[in-house]
Structure 1
Amino acid sequence: MQARDLMTADVETVEQSEEVSEVLQKLAKRKFTGFPVVDDENRLVGVVTQRDMVELFQPKSRTVWIPIGLPPFLESLEYGFELSWDELETELDLARNAGKPVKKIMTTDVLTVAPDASVDDILEILANDDRDVNRVPVVEGEELVGIVTREDVLRALHAERSGDA
C-alpha cells in the first residue's frame, strides 16, 4: 500500500495570502482541523491548523510563573497564573490578527511524502511525538497532489487486516 492508495486527491487548501479571519471561517465549517497552504501554482508552502490559531489568541506571555518556597520544602514550587483572559482581550486579539495573511502564522517546515511512499513512511511521520502531525501532504515535486490523514491510515489498516481491502 502506498500514499497514492490512501490519499484524498481533491484537497481543500488555502492560499498563503488569505487572511486569518477567512481561514478561521473555513475551519469552523469543516470537520478537520487544518489546511495545506499553497501558492498560486499549487505548490505546498505550509500548513495552518487550529493549533496555530489558538496560539494567536492565547499567547504564552499571558502566563506568569512565580516561584513560591513553602516550608518545610527545600525547593520552591512554580505556580502559573494566567493574566486576565476575558472577552475583551479575545476580541482585541481577533481584531489585531484577523487581517494578517495566513503565511504569517502557518507552519513552513512541513513533513511530506511522495505518492509512492509506503504506509510505514506515513506511519513514521504520524507517530512522531515531537511533531504531533495529523495529516501528511502528498507532493510530487513541489506540487500538492493529495493528503493522507491518520483516519485514512487507520481505515486502510483495518480493512487490510479484516480482509475488506
Structure 2
Amino acid sequence: MKIKDFMIKDVISVREDTSVKDLLEILVKHNIGGVPVVSEENTLLGVISDGDVIRYLQPKGRTVYDMFTVVLVSEKEDLTHKLKYSMEHSVKKMMRQKDIYTVSPDEKFEEALRIFSKCHFKKIPVVDANNIVVGVVSRGDIIRFISNKLIATMDEEN
C-alpha cells in the first residue's frame, strides 16, 4: 500500500504571515494539532503544531511546574500580557523549518510508520517532487489504516 492510498488530500494549511490567533482558531475549528506552513504556490516552508505554540507562549525562565506551584499575580499578568501580545505575531516566528520529515505519495505505507515510530510528530506532510504539499498523513490515519485494512485482511484469512 502506498501513502497516496490513505493520505488526507484536503489539506488544511497556513501561510507564514498567518497570525497566532488565526492559527489557533483553525486548529480548534478543525480539531487538529498542527498544519503545514506553505507559500502561495503551496510549497512546503515549515510546519507548526499546538506544541510549538505552547512552547512559544511559555514565560521565559519558568517551567509549567513553576507556573502552578508559585502562583503570583505578576506571573499571571505576565502570561496574560504575553498571550495578548503574541496573538498578532505571525506563525513564521515559531514554525519549525528544520528537521522536517516528509513523504511522497508513491512511498510505501511502511515509510510513514517508520517516521512516526522514530519521531514524535503528529502529522507528516506529503509532498511531490517539487516540494508542493499534496496531502498529510497523521498518526490517526496510520492507526485507522491498520485497523480497517490490515486487521480486516487478517480476519478474512482466518
Contact 1:56 1:93 in 2 (8 A): no
Deviations 1:71-97 (A, max 9, x none): xxxxxxxxx745657542222111221
Where does the alignment leave 5 or more consecutive residues of structure 2 unmatched? none
Q: Give the superposition deviation at 1:105.
A: 0.3
Contact 2:13 2:35 in 1 (8 A): yes
Distance in 2, Cα, partners of 1:59 & 1:124? 35
Cα 1:125–1:59, aligned 2, differ >3 Å: closer, same or farther? Answer: farther
Aligned to 1:104: 93
Aligned to 1:19: 19
> Which of 124, 130, 140 is the aligned partner of 1:136?
124
What is the alpha-carbon root mean square deviation over aligned residues? 2.1
Cα 1:95–1:126, aligned 2, differ >3 Å: closer, same or farther? Answer: same
If the length of structure 2 is used for normalisation, what is the TM-score?
A: 0.84
Aligned length: 147
Q: Give the superposition deviation at 1:149.
A: 0.8
Q: Which has the larger radius of gyration?
A: 1
Q: Give the superposition deviation at 1:38.
A: 0.4
Q: More strand per residue: 1 or 2?
A: 1
Task: Letter of the 2:104 partner, please give it.
Answer: A
Aligned to 1:156: 145
Aligned to 2:111: 121
Deviations 1:37-61 (A, max 9, x none): 1011100111111101111222451
Matches within 5 A, 1:56-75: 56-59=56-59, 61-63=61-63
Distance in 1, Cα, partners of 2:4 & 2:32? 20
Task: Letter of the 1:51 partner, please give it.
Answer: G
Q: More helix per residue: 1 or 2?
A: 2
